[in-house]
Structure formats: C-alpha cells, structure tokens
Structure 1
Amino acid sequence: MGAKAELFSKKMCDILNYGALNLAMGIGYETGLFEALSRIDGPASCTEIAAEAGVSERYLREWVGVMVCGGIVEVSADGQGNELFELPEEYIPFLCRSGGNSNLGVYTQEIPLLTDCARQGVLEGMKDGAGIPYARYPKFYSFMEELADAKHREVLVRTFLPSVLGGEMVRRMKKGISVCDIGCAEGVALEVMAQAFPASQFTGTDISEESLENGRKRVADLGLENITFKLQDAAGDNVEPEQFDYITAFDSIHDQTRPFAALQNIHNQLKPGGIFSMIDIKADSSISGNMEHPMGPFLYAVSLMHCMPVGLMGGGTGLGMMWGREKAVSMCRDAGFSRIEVTDIPEDGFNSHYLCFK
C-alpha cells in the first residue's frame, strides 16, 4: 500500500470512529449523561452513573465504551479491579449546559436529528433535484428553536445589540423606534428586546401560523403590549414600504426560497436611513475558500440535509447555508443597500453580522 493510500485508510477509520462518536454523544447529551457525569465527584462505576442519570445500566455500559474509546471519558480501576469512569473537569464546559457559549455538546444532536428527518428526502433529491418541505423537520425545528431561544436570552441584549453601531442602536431603541424580526418563529428575540426596550414597537413575521400563535399566547401571558405578529412570507408581495427603523434576521435569509426578493422587501420596508442586521453563517462563498474552516464539513452537511433542500421548494433558489460572505454582500448591495459592513459577533464563532444601511 502506498503512502497516500495508507493515510487515506487511516482517515477512513477516523471518519467511521468520529461519526459513531458524534451519534453516541448526541444520545448522551439528550439523555443527560454528560450532566450526570459532571455532578459526580471523582471516578464512579456504571451502577453509580446509571443511578445518577436515571438510565439503564446495560445501555449506559455500552455508551460509556464509546466515550472511553473516543477519548471523552477516562477509565481507571478500584482496589478490586472494577472499572471506574470519570469525565475530566476540563471537558465539562464543552459538553454541559453550564458551559454557555463554550458548550459544543449540544450540536452533537444536530446531524442525527437531520438524518431522522431528511435522509430519505435527500436521497430522492439527489436523483430528481426536488426540495424537502418544512413539514418534514418538526423535531429539528424544535431543537433549533430551543437552541436559538437560549442564545437570545443570554446574549441578545447583553452583548449583540450593544455591538451594533457602537451602542447607538441601543440608545435608539431606548428612545423608541420600530423594529421587525424576519423569520421570528415564536418570537423569543422579540420578547427579550421588548422587555428591555419598552419605548420601542416590535413586529415579528413568519410563515408558520402555529409558531406565531404560540408567540402571541406567550407575550400575552407576559403582558407585553409592544409586540405584533404577522403571518408573512419574507419574499411575498404584500409588504408595506417604509415601516421600520431597524430590521433583524437571525440565520433566516439563507433558508428562503427567494432570498433576493426577501432582501429587496427588507430594503423596501426600512424607512430612509434605516438599518438591517443580517446574522448569518461565517463562511466563504467558494468551496475551496472553506477548506480551512474549522467546522466546514459539519456546516456543509447541515446545509445538505436542511437549508439547501428547503430553499429548493416551489422552484426556489436553494441558496444553502454556505452561501458565504462574497455572495451575501453582493446580494445585499444588489437589493439596494448603500453600504454593508461585515463584522464578527461577540461570543459567537459561527456567524457574521452583516450591517446594511439604507
């Protein structure tokens, strides 16, 4: 076997092992096994870990085998030679909810969920080029909404908005402006902003009536009277011009079937001098430009399994999550924005902030 073939053989073994490890870690995260391990002080037996997590000991033993062989959990022995297992303290922030933005363990659920939802659809799409409807992804959307909601509650008002225009956007929102969130789902971002800036008026648009109705019920229970929800396609023909001072879109533009029309509508809905914050994946527009991206394979896989096929529905563009900076800037400029500034986002390594000026 030549050197190149030998290296590729090793790489294939790594791929199979890491794919299996991701699957098992996703199960461990969802069932609370990492949280249980983090609560145990020192090495513990399978019996003790299973009791702490409330899971089957037999299933736990097989799962911990994956973790030990994968270098996630350490194994030792007591005086009688019984195996004991421990999650290193240094790993806890990356695997448990207590880690906040350092927590990468939560993302181990993403590929298994997408496989459940869309594998057959992607196999069919490879042959006929058809898209996959939103209705095929209920479990995935529940997961993503939970993830986004937690993030909004933690960083939106504390770190993101203060970074917009060097704090000027916060000053405007305190004084009172009109704000719209495109693709708002159940409106957690709106809720957080409306509570922090009661003098401003907030509107959320989405294509899911169920999500909007859930949002209406929640903000009514909270007594928030400065939020309105609208059933509206971001690329639809029924948008009212010059309504808003500030528009946000959190990872929603690349999923649109007609993303350019959506960007044109956003430009039209802004008042003269209005601002648009588009938060989207940090990437290059060329595949070769993403070869050194630390999460490149993962992000392209998510796009393959969700973002691109939902964007193909109804003869859509199928832009995909990895449309990248160059294409994003070009499309925003062609949609009418006079200036686009692209910056990193505090405490967010996945996304870029496209600040667009009308």
Structure 2
Amino acid sequence: MSNKAEIFSNKMCDILNYGALNLAMGIGYEAGLFEVLANMDTPSSCSVIAEEGGVSERYLREWLGVMVCGGIVEIHTDAQGQELFELPEEYVSFLCRSGGNSNLGVYTQEIPLLTDCAREGVLEGVKSGAGIPYERYPRFYSFMEQLADAKHRDVLVQTFLPSVLGGEIVRRMKKGISVCDIGCAEGVALEVMAQVFPASQFTGIDISEDSLNNGRNRVAQLGLKNITFQLQDAAGGDIDSVRFDYITAFDSIHDQTRPFEALCNIHKMLKPGGVFSMIDIKASSSVGENMDHPMGAFLYTVSLMHCMPVGLVDGGTGLGMMWGREKAVSMCREAGFSRVEVNDIPEDGFNSHYLCFK
C-alpha cells in the first residue's frame, strides 16, 4: 500500500468513527446525559449514573462505550476493578447548555435531524435537481428555532445591536423607529427588541402561517402592542407602501428561493438613509478558499441537506448556506445598496454582519 493510500485509509477510519460519534453525542445531548455526567462529583459507575439520570443502564453503558472510545468521557477503575466514568471538567462548557456561546454539543443534533428529514429527498434531488419543500423539515425547524431563540435572548440586545453603527442603531431605536425582521419565524428577535425599545415599532415577515400565529399568540400574552406580523414572501408581494428605518435578516437570505429579488425588495422597503443588517455564514464564495474553514465540511453538509434544496423549490436559485462573502457583497450592491460593510460579530465566530446602506 502506498503512503498516500495508507493515509487515506486511516482518514476513512477517522471519518467512520467521528460520524458515529456525532450521532451518539447528539442522542446523549438530547437525552441530557452530558448534564448528568457534569453534575457527578466523582467518577461514577454506570449504574449510579443511570440512576441519577433516570435512564436505562443498558443503553447508557453502550452509549458510554462510544464516548470512551471517542475520547469524550474518561474511564477509571476502582480498587474492586469496577469501571467508573467521568466527563472532564474542561469539556463541560463545550457539551452542556450551561456553556452558553461555548456550547458546541447542541450542534451534534443537526446532522442526524437533517438525515431524518431529508436523506431520501436529497438522494432524489441528486438525480433530478429538484428541491425539497419546507414541509419536510418540521423537527429540524423546531430545533433551529430553539437554537436561534436562545441566542437572541442571550446576545441580541446585549451584544449585537450595540455593535451596529457603533451603538447608533440602539440610540435610534430608543427614540423610536420602524424595524422589520425578514424570516422572523415566531418572532423572538422582535419580542426581545420590542420589550427593550417600546418607542419603536416592529414588523415580522415570514412565509409560515403557523409560526406567525404562534408569534401573535405569544405577543398577545406578553401584552406587547408594538409588534405586528405579516405573511409574505420576502421576494414578492406589494411592498411599495412599506418603509422601514432598519431591517434585519438572521441567516434567512440564503434559504430564499429568489434571494436576489428578496434583497431588491428589502432595498425598496427601507427609507432613504435606512440600514439593513444581514447576518449570514462567514465563508468565502470559493470552495478552495473554504478548505481551511474549521467547520467547512459541516456547513457544506447542512447546506446540502437543507439550505440548497429548500432554495431550489419551484425552480429557485438554490443559493446555499456557503454562498460566501464575495457573492453576498456583489448581490447586495446589485440590489441597490450604496455601501456594504462586512463586519465580525462579537462572540459569534460562525457569522458575518453585512451592514448595507440605502
């Protein structure tokens, strides 16, 4: 066997091991097993951990086998020869909900969920080129909304908005402006902003009537009077009479079937002097330039399984998650924005902030 073949053979073993490890970690995360391990004061036996977590000891033992062989959980042996298991303290913030922005364990659920939702559709699409409708992804969207909601509550007002225009957007929102969120889902970002900036008016636009109704119900329960929701495709509809001072789109433009038309409409929806914040994946438009991206293979897989196929529905563009900085800037400028700035986002290594001016 040549040296190159041997290296690739070893790489294939790594791929099979890490793919299996991701699946098992996703199951453990959803079942709360990492939290149980994190709460154990000392290395503990499988039976003690199972009792603490209220789970099946037999299932737990097999899962711990994956975690030990995968280098996630450490194993010890007591004086009687009994195996004891421990999650290193240094790993806890990366694997548990308490880790906040450091928590990467939550993402181990993403590929298994997408496999459940879309594997057959992607296999069909590879041959036909057809897209996959949103309706095929209910569990994935529920997961992603929970993820986005938690992030909005943690960082939107505290970290992100103060970074926009050096805090100027916060000053404007305190005085009172009109704000729109594109692809708002159930409107958690709007809810967070509306509570902090009662003098401003907020509108959410989405194509899911169920999500909008859930948002309307929650806003009514909270007694917020400065939020409205609108069922509309960002790329279509009569929007000439609508004018906003500030528009946001959190990782929603690359999923559009007609992203360029959506950007053109967003430009129309802004008042002269208005600002558009497009938050999207930090990447290059060149596959070769993304080879050193620390999460490149993961992000391209998410795009393959979701972002690209939903963007292909009804003859759509199929832009994909990894459309990248160069294409994003070019499309925004072509859509009419006079200036496009690309900024890093505090405490967010995944996304870039495309700040677009009218």
TM-score, normalised to structure 2, is 0.99
**2:119 is matched by which residue type in structure 1?**
R
Q: Distance in 1 between matches of 2:241 and 2:270?
A: 7
Offset, 1:17: 0.3
| SS of structure 2 residue aligned to 1:273 | strand
Q: Distance in 2 between matches of 1:349 and 1:297?
A: 16
Deviation by residue 1:254-288 (Cα, 9 ceiling, x = unmatched): 00000000000000000000000000000000100
Q: Distance in 2 between matches of 1:241 and 1:66?
A: 58
CA root-mean-square deviation = 0.5
Question: Residue 324 of structure 1 aligns with which residue?
Answer: 324
**1:344 is matched by which residue type in structure 2?**
D
Question: Residue 258 of structure 2 aligns with which residue?
Answer: 258
Deviation by residue 1:34-75 (Cα, 9 ceiling, x = unmatched): 000011111000001111111100000000000000000000
Q: Distance in 1 between matches of 2:276 and 2:52?
A: 48
Question: Residue 165 of structure 1 aligns with which residue?
Answer: 165
Q: Distance in 1 between matches of 2:54 and 2:184?
A: 36
Offset, 1:94: 0.1
Q: Distance in 2 between matches of 1:353 and 1:42?
A: 43
Question: Residue 118 of structure 1 aligns with which residue?
Answer: 118
Superposition pairs for residues 242-257 of structure 1, below 5 Å?
243-257=243-257
| SS of structure 2 residue aligned to 1:109 | helix
**1:178 is matched by which residue type in structure 2?**
S
* Structure 1 spans left out of the alignment, 5+ residues: none
| SS of structure 2 residue aligned to 1:271 | strand
* Structure 2 spans left out of the alignment, 5+ residues: none
Question: Residue 129 of structure 1 aligns with which residue?
Answer: 129
| SS of structure 1 residue aligned to 2:65 | helix
Q: Distance in 1 between matches of 2:242 and 2:166?
A: 24
Question: Residue 78 of structure 2 aligns with which residue?
Answer: 78
Q: Distance in 2 between matches of 1:103 and 1:232?
A: 34
Question: Residue 239 of structure 2 aligns with which residue?
Answer: 239
Offset, 1:240: 2.8
**1:263 is matched by which residue type in structure 2?**
L
> Is 1:271 matched up with 2:275?
no
Q: Distance in 2 between matches of 1:238 and 1:311?
A: 22
Deviation by residue 1:140-176 (Cα, 9 ceiling, x = unmatched): 0000000000000000000000000000000000000
Aligned 8 A contact 1:338 1:357 in 2: yes
Q: Distance in 1 between matches of 2:173 and 2:207?
A: 26
Q: Distance in 2 between matches of 1:312 and 1:53?
A: 43
Aligned 8 A contact 1:242 1:272 in 2: no
**2:344 is matched by which residue type in structure 1?**
D
Question: Residue 27 of structure 1 aligns with which residue?
Answer: 27
| SS of structure 2 residue aligned to 1:99 | helix
Offset, 1:241: 4.5
Aligned 8 A contact 1:94 1:105 in 2: yes
Q: Distance in 1 between matches of 2:25 and 2:242?
A: 48
TM-score, normalised to structure 1, is 0.99
Question: Residue 280 of structure 1 aligns with which residue?
Answer: 280
Question: Residue 60 of structure 1 aligns with which residue?
Answer: 60
Runs of 4+ in structure 1 displaced over 2 angstroms? none
Question: Residue 199 of structure 1 aligns with which residue?
Answer: 199
**2:32 is matched by which residue type in structure 1?**
G
Question: Residue 90 of structure 1 aligns with which residue?
Answer: 90
> Is 1:5 matched up with 2:24?
no
